[in-house]
Structure formats: structure tokens, C-alpha cells
Copies of this chain bind each other. A is one copy, B any other.
């Protein structure tokens, strides 16, 4: 972890994240659990086992005892999703005080994808190279034009518009940056949602890099997180009934399962996955 400290990890075309500071590690989680459970944990001789137990039973407070602070550079439209996680502290570069750099996100060709027809909030296959190139041209041209005019608006020798106003002319793929500080419990909650395949690619790549940081920082916690969160699946009451029937030898179909088509598909995707 000390090696990771301060080192920028590249994300997207101009973004990065880097660990600026942290407090605590796996042993701080264990220490907090042991004060809670006092003499009661004498028998739990092994720390990793205790951490797995805490994760499995959703005893989340010991994980709050660790804290991490990142410096992140990210496009504004990603920042808008990210900030919805309220249990964190943020200091963002202010475009009221300062001038933003000429840097905007342009997707890599394989990420320029069509609207999904089945998932209203998702993307489908990549567009063909020619159409992709057209998309990039549009995004680049508009962002450049808007930034040029941002500079024109700001020019103290020219228009001299207030920074707090001029910024409204920028596009949502402009990069911003911030310090983001969060405790380990809330970080894992963020990661479980944002490293999920349904999360938008442009935030998911940040989450994935953070999971690498997690592994270096708190290896036992990261392993338990993968076992009981990332790799886990919540079976609803109705799904449990289906599992019980199938284990009892019955052939269950969607029609007689009591599940909706969507639930049936989601459950089977899990049961048929290669583990």
C-alpha cells in the first residue's frame, strides 16, 4: 500500500485516481470488532475468519474504522453520478475560483456503443468504425468549440465574464478533479454498486481500479468482499422456493415457478454461470 501512495493510476483518457492518505487496515477492523464483542472473541483466533464473519453477517461498523482519501480526476458527467454517494467527504476544484483546463473525455472506439434496446439505461454493441469516427468528430468539435468560447468569455483583456458564469458554456465531458475521502464500509458499498456490470462503463473503470487498491490495502477485507458481495447473489423468497423444489428433484419452469420472466432470467444467469 505504501508503494501505491501518491502514484496516479490512469483511468479513461485523461483521468486518474491516486491514494493520498489512509488510516487503518485489516487489523483496525479486527480491533474494533474485538472491543464490541469484548472477551467474546477470544475464541475467534484468526483475523481473516473474524473479518469474513463480520462481512457475512453485515456487521458493518468495524469497517467504518478505516478511512481512505483519493485524489481523482474525472469527467463532469461521471462526477455527477459519483457525488450521489453521500457518505463521503469531497473537495472539488471550483470553477467559480479557477479556470478549468482544456481536457475533455472522448471514448475509446470500442466504447462508442449503440443504445441498448432491452435495457433502457444501458449500451449495446460498439457502433461500426465509420459511425464511431463520426461520433468522435462531433464530440471533439463541440467540446473544442465550447472551450474556445469559454476562453473568449473569460479573457480579461476581452469580455472578462465572471468565471462562475463562463463555466456554464462547457460540455459535460470536461474533466474536473476532487479529493474524495470515505470510510471502508461506505467505500465497499460504493464499489458494490459501481463495479457492477450494470453501472455505466465510465464510472465502473474507476471502481475497478479502486478494487485493486482495496486488495493492496486490506487484503483480508477485500477477499471477504469478493466472496460475500461481488460474487454473491441475493435469492428472493420466491427464488428460494424454486431452488428447494429443484433440489428435491422437481423440474421447475418459469411458468410454474411463481417468478416473473425477468426474475427467472436473472436467477438462471447466476445458476448457469461458470464459477
Binding site for B on A (CB under 8 A): 21-24, 28, 31-33, 35-41, 49, 53, 56-58, 61-62, 64-65, 67, 69, 71, 75-77, 79-80, 83-84, 86-87, 89-94, 96-99, 105, 107, 111-116, 120-124, 127, 131, 134-135, 138-139, 142-143, 145-146, 149, 152-154, 156, 159-165, 167-173, 177-179, 181, 183, 193, 198, 200, 226-228, 230-241, 243-244, 246-247, 260, 262-263, 270-273, 275
Complex contact B35–A65 (CB within 8 A): no
What residues on B are CB-neighbors of A38 within 8 Å?
93-94, 97-99
- Pick the contact of A127: B56, B69, B161, B240 (CB < 8 A): B161
What residues on B are CB-neighbors of A105 within 8 Å?
168
Complex contact B36–A65 (CB within 8 A): no
Complex contact A169–B61 (CB within 8 A): no
Given A96-B200, A120-B40, do A232 and B234 touch, yes or no (CB 8 Å)?
Answer: yes
Complex contact B271–A243 (CB within 8 A): yes
- Pick the contact of A36: B56, B94, B181, B231 (CB < 8 A): B94
Complex contact A233–B232 (CB within 8 A): no
- In Å, the complex CA distance between A215 and B255 comes to 28
In the complex, which residue of chain B has the Cβ closest to the Cβ of A224? Answer: B236
In the complex, which residue of chain B has the Cβ closest to the Cβ of A65? Answer: B181
- Pick the contact of A121: B32, B97, B161 (CB < 8 A): B97
Among A56, A171, A198, which residue has the most Cβ atoms of chain B within 10 A? A171
Complex contact A37–B97 (CB within 8 A): yes
- In Å, the complex CA distance between A35 and B87 comes to 20
Given A168-B172, A172-B172, do A92 and B35 touch, yes or no (CB 8 Å)?
Answer: yes
- In Å, the complex CA distance between A182 and B161 comes to 34
- In Å, the complex CA distance between A40 and B122 comes to 12
Complex contact B235–A164 (CB within 8 A): no
- Pick the contact of A35: B120, B178, B231, B262 (CB < 8 A): B178
Complex contact B247–A246 (CB within 8 A): yes
